[in-house]
Structures are given as structure tokens and as C-alpha cells.
Amino acid sequence: MTNIKYSSVPLFLLVAICAISSSFAIAQSQAPQPGPYTSEQDQQNMMGQLGIKALRPGPSGDEKAPNHANYDESKANPYPNLPDPLTMNDGQKVTTSAMWWDKRRPEIVEMFSKYVYGRVPSNVPKVKWTVNTVDHEMLGFTPVIAKDIEGVVDNSSYPTIDVHIHMMLVLPARAKGPAPVLMMFGRAAFPNPNEPSAGDLDKVNKAWQSLLIQQDPSLKQVFEQHPAWQLVKATPFQFPQLNEDGGLPNTWQLVAAGWGFVLFDPASVQADDGGGLTRGIIGLVNKGQPRKPEDWGALRAWAWGAGRGLDYLGIDPAVDAKHVGIEGVSRYGKAALVTMAFDQRFAIVLVGSSGKGGATLLRRNFGEAVESLTGGEYYWMAGNFMKYGASEASFGSMTPADIPVDSNELIALCAPRLTFISYGIPAKGDANWLDHKGSFMAAVDASRVFVLLGAQGLAVEGDYHTAQMPPVNTDLLDGQLAWRQHDGGHTDAPNMKYFIEWADKFIGHTP
Ligand code: GCU
């Protein structure tokens, strides 16, 4: 602190000093303070920027709690009419595919960017990819090559923040040509690390023994008494963890069918946490400062990361980069749909149990609410999205009906590419919270865009108000837009074999 003797300073200067230091204090209090920057602080900061004083609280996910979410279908459609993907904002009808591509699609992309998921900044730094380790493994009966790959983001603009994107690419070793690849959001580890041969294990054990004897000479006698005992043993054969439907793990199914896969770690791009918004790729571009209202949220950042992963796949000759899909479940189901909607290089998506912020209609009031997405989950979205949960603000209040777009249009952005929407059943844990019906309605409406573009949507009678959701385990897999609710839980695994067959048919791939 500079030492100023106030008595010797003229009054006008004193006032000026106070004004400067108090505006400095305001700027300081908005900036992340040293020490942990919490989700609550970040949310308050954004509410301040938007002029929001209070948010409507979201419902409880506990169906027995007094403030539980609505599960009464007769109250589920308070705003029954959806924004129309095939009507321009100025009221003109979209009647040709050219009009869709040149006018309407860009209009919808702009609205989703500005109001819902946020914009990817124009100055995101470049990513440099390196293959760190290559391992030859077996997945079931399929030999594979697994590559541990790291993408280092250029942080010369703000060296305090490092972003190292991590993914694992696994390809069938005996593929006849470039393989289609399904990129899956989740932990990126070697699926089945190759072990040393028996002879090499002997060497490892001998080296261990001599090291341990150096450390404690009395161990020599112990090892002599048990000459056949091995410190490091080969892992015994392990039966695979079967899927909920008793099928083989997704990854095994994919490689057996001649597909590759990528395990893509979203957390290596952006933390799943509001306090993390001043770090990760979002924090790097913002130089450690909080977001502005139109900046990207975590979903768009994860999607951006997947797109950079696809850049790498594009230069790997073993990958059929024209047929790369993106997959995720739950919040990563949302991320998968967002990835597909914005990045048209992805050819295929498997959207698992994505709920609100994913395939389900934002306007529906069933299970998870817009107020959940503007509450604790606000950081998945653009800051601007919080306005739709505001009960008291400089602009008054807003409701889900004020959102200029809805998920029927998000699905429509994927058209005419291969889009599979997957759910399980509440009885097995794919909770009502997810609003399966709202996703079905959105897909029914998005079908019109698939048809306009010469593809096929869901083959159902009626429009989104009237179409009947098919019974569980009933395939609606004839079109490029597909729907299947399996009879398992909060996972897309029981749908994997249907997904592979469906995708293979459209891309003309045979194992
Ligand atoms: C919560 C959240 C969902 C989310 C899910 C998950 O249920 O409300 O939006 O999809 O967690 O990702 O596990």
C-alpha cells in the first residue's frame, strides 16, 4: 500500500483517489480472486453482467420430495407450440433445401450460439497433436492398435493456463481399409494394456527381487524359501463386463464389427464445473477472466475439443474420416448432440439419454427443467441462457417460452446426417427426469427437415402433437434420423448393436 497522508491532500484529489480505488475494488471483486474460484461466485458474476437479481429454483430430482419435478403428462406442455425449423425468423416458409442451407440453418446456428450454448471464439489457439504411446492389444478376439494421443493447445497468449487434450484411438489391427470410427466422450485409458511375455515377466521379477534385497537383505532368505513365487504375476483371463443386456462391451462390439473408436476425455478440455470456467480452454481464451454472456459453455467447449480430435483423425490414414461418429450418454449425450449439430464434418451421432439441454424439448415441463439448466448446471450453457430462468431482473422475467429455438431445431441441424436418439427405461434407472417423450416429440418434428433434405426421418403417423411414442424395444431405424428406447437403464449400451447395423447400412460398411 502506498502511504498517503490524507490531511495534506486537497479534497478534490482525495475524492478522485477514493473514486478510482473504489472502481478498482469493483473490478477486483468481479475478477476471480486468488484462491478457489467457486461455481457460485462465477454464477453471481454472470447474473451481475446480465442484470439478474433472482432465478426461479429448479425442481428436485427426487420424485418423493415436495418440490419434485412435474411428471403429470397433462401439465407437460405449458407452451405447446414449438418454434418451426422450417419458418424463417421473418415468417417466410423454407421450401427448398437451398433455402435451408443458405438461410435458415445459419439463422438457427446463430440463435443457438447467441442464446443457448454460446459462441466458440474466433481466436481459439491451435492444437498440436502427438501420439505418445502405441500399444498392440486384444479386445475380445479382435487384435487392435491403441494410440494414446495428446493435443497441446498453444497457450503463448496466456501461459498460466495449460490445456492438454487427451484421447485414446483404438483401431482394429486387421482392417481391410480405413475404418469408420466412433468417438465417445469419457475416460481415455488403454482398453486392455498388452502385458510382457512370460520370459519378460521373469526378468521383471528378478530385477524386483534384487532391488528389494538391496533395500532389506533379510528378504534374500524369504525369496529362497519360495523360489517359484512371483512378485508380478500375469493377469489371469478376465471375463468381460457384459452390457446390461448381456451383450459384449460397446468397445468390443465396435472393433469386432470393423469399427475403430476414440475415448475422448472432455475434462481435459474443460472442467465439468462452473468454477472451472476461468480455466480450461474457455479460461485460456479469456485469459483467466470470467465469461461474457455470449461466450461458450462447457458443452460447446467439449464439442470444440471433439472437433479438434476429428482434425487429428483426418490425418490418420487408418481412419475413414468421412465416417466418424460422436457418442455420449447423459451430459455427454447433450455434448454429442451439440457436437454433431455444429460441426458438419461429423457423419454420425449416437445420442444417449441426453434429456434437457440435449434432445428433449426445452419448452416441456416434465422432469428436468430449464431452471435446472440455469441453476446448478448453468455452466454447461452460455451465460445468456440464464435469462430464461430469471424471476427478477432488469429485463423483468423470462420463461422457457422466450427461448427463440428448441431441441427440434437442434436435431434438425444434424440433418441429413445419421442421427440416432437412444434412451432406456425409468424402471431400470433411465429416470423420468430425462423426459423421453419430449425427445421423441422433438425428433418427430425434426424429421421434416430430414425429409426436405432428401433423407428419411422417423416413420410415424401425425405431427409432434399427435404422434405416438413407440413401445420399448421397437426400432424406428429405417431413416437417417433414428429412435430406439431399449429396456435397460441410463446407458446406450443395449442399443449399440442396433446402432452399428443401422450405421453400417447407411455408410455401406461391412466388417
Ligand atoms: C443430472 C442432470 C442431467 C445430466 C445428468 C448426468 O441428472 O440434471 O442434465 O444429464 O445429471 O449427466 O449425469
3-state secondary structure 424-493: CCHHHCCCHHHCHHHHHHHHHHHHHHHHHCCCCCCCCCCCCCCCCCCCCCCCECCCCEEEEECCCCCCCH
Q: Which bin fits 250, alpha (ψ -120 to 50), beta or left (φ > 0)? A: alpha
- 260 close to ligand 1 (CB < 6 Angstrom): no
Whether 78 is covered by a domain: the verdict is no
Q: For residues 312 and 130, give the distance between their C-alpha atoms in angstroms, rounded to a whole number.
A: 9
- 372 close to ligand 1 (CB < 6 Angstrom): yes
Q: For residues 82 and 93, give the distance between their C-alpha atoms in angstroms, rounded to a whole number.
A: 15
Does 205 share its domain with 175? no
**The domain containing residue 328 runs over which residues?**
126-192+240-273+282-362+403-507
Residues 6 or more apart in contact with residue 238 via CB below 8 angstroms? none
SS3 of residue 421 by DSSP: strand
Does 258 share its domain with 178? yes
pLDDT attached to residue 33: 53
Question: Which residue's CA is the nearest one to ligand 1's atom 13?
Answer: 330
Does 203 share its domain with 323? no
Residue 426 belongs to a domain with what CATH number? 3.40.50.1820
**Phi, psi at 114, each rounded to 5°:** -70, -40
Cβ–Cβ under 8 Å, residues 460 and 476: yes
Residue 170 pairs in a beta bridge with: 146, 261
Does 467 share its domain with 439? yes
- 353 close to ligand 1 (CB < 6 Angstrom): no
Whether 358 is covered by a domain: the verdict is yes
Q: For residues 60 and 435, give the distance between their C-alpha atoms in angstroms, rounded to a whole number.
A: 14
pLDDT attached to residue 34: 57
- 323 close to ligand 1 (CB < 6 Angstrom): no
pLDDT per residue over 348-391, tens digit each?
Answer: 999 999 999 999 999 999 999 999 999 999 999 999 999 999 99
User: How, if at all, do strands 179-185 and 481-485 pair?
Assistant: unpaired
Q: For residues 120 and 98, give the distance between their C-alpha atoms in angstroms, rounded to a whole number.
A: 26
* Grid cell of 14 as nine digits: 482525495
Does 291 share its domain with 188? yes
Does 148 share its domain with 220? no
pLDDT attached to residue 9: 39
Atom of ligand 1 nearest to the CA of 333: 10
The count of C-alpha atoms lying within 13 angstroms of the C-alpha of 254, restricted to the half-sphere facing its C-beta, is 27
Does 208 share its domain with 263? no
* Type of residue found at 312: Y
- 491 close to ligand 1 (CB < 6 Angstrom): no
Domain count along the chain: 2
| Torsional sign, CA 330, 335, 336, 338 | positive
Does 307 share its domain with 340? yes
Burial environment of residue 118 by CB neighbours within 10 A (0 to 12, 13 to 18, 19 or more): buried
Does 338 share its domain with 305? yes
| Torsional sign, CA 249, 252, 257, 263 | positive
Burial environment of residue 4 by CB neighbours within 10 A (0 to 12, 13 to 18, 19 or more): exposed
Does 22 share its domain with 154? no
Query: What single DSSP character describes residue 78?
Result: S
- 331 close to ligand 1 (CB < 6 Angstrom): yes
CA angle 120, 126, 131 (to 5 degrees): 120
Nearest to 38 by CA among 271, 270, 276, 272: 276
Question: Which residue's CA is the nearest one to ligand 1's atom 8?
Answer: 368
pLDDT attached to residue 35: 66
Q: How far is the CA of 118 from the centre of ligand 1 (A)?
A: 19
Residue ranges with strand state E in 307-458: 319-329, 348-352, 390-393, 418-423
Does 220 share its domain with 266? no
Does 297 share its domain with 203? no
Which of 330, 381, 432, 436 for mutating ligand 1's site (highest number of atoms within 8 Å of CB)? 330
Q: How far is the CA of 58 from the centre of ligand 1 (A)?
A: 13
Whether 467 is covered by a domain: the verdict is yes
Q: How far is the CA of 11 from the centre of ligand 1 (A)?
A: 57
- 371 close to ligand 1 (CB < 6 Angstrom): no
Q: For residues 446 and 360, give the distance between their C-alpha atoms in angstroms, rounded to a whole number.
A: 12
Whether 179 is covered by a domain: the verdict is yes
pLDDT 10s digit of each residue in the chain, 511 long?
A: 333 333 333 443 434 443 444 443 434 445 555 568 999 999 999 999 999 999 999 999 998 999 999 999 999 999 999 999 999 999 999 999 999 999 999 999 999 999 999 999 999 999 999 999 999 999 999 999 999 999 999 999 999 999 999 999 999 999 999 999 999 999 999 999 999 999 999 999 999 999 999 999 999 999 999 999 999 999 888 788 898 888 999 999 999 999 999 999 999 999 999 999 999 999 999 999 999 999 999 999 999 999 999 999 999 999 999 999 999 999 999 999 999 999 999 999 999 999 999 999 999 999 999 999 999 999 999 999 999 999 999 999 999 999 999 999 999 999 999 999 999 999 999 999 999 999 999 999 999 999 999 999 999 999 999 999 999 999 999 999 999 999 999 999 999 999 999 999 999 999 8
Whether 264 is covered by a domain: the verdict is yes
Residues 6 or more apart in contact with residue 188 via CB below 8 angstroms? 148, 166, 167, 168, 263, 264, 265, 268
Cβ–Cβ under 8 Å, residues 68 and 365: no
Which of 364, 368, 492 for mutating ligand 1's site (highest number of atoms within 8 Å of CB)? 368
Q: How far is the CA of 386 from the centre of ligand 1 (A)?
A: 17
**Phi, psi at 190, each rounded to 5°:** -60, 130
Whether 372 is covered by a domain: the verdict is no
Nearest to 45 by CA among 24, 64, 31, 61: 31
Whether 11 is covered by a domain: the verdict is yes
Q: How far is the CA of 70 from the centre of ligand 1 (A)?
A: 16
Q: How far is the CA of 304 from the centre of ligand 1 (A)?
A: 20
Whether 200 is covered by a domain: the verdict is yes
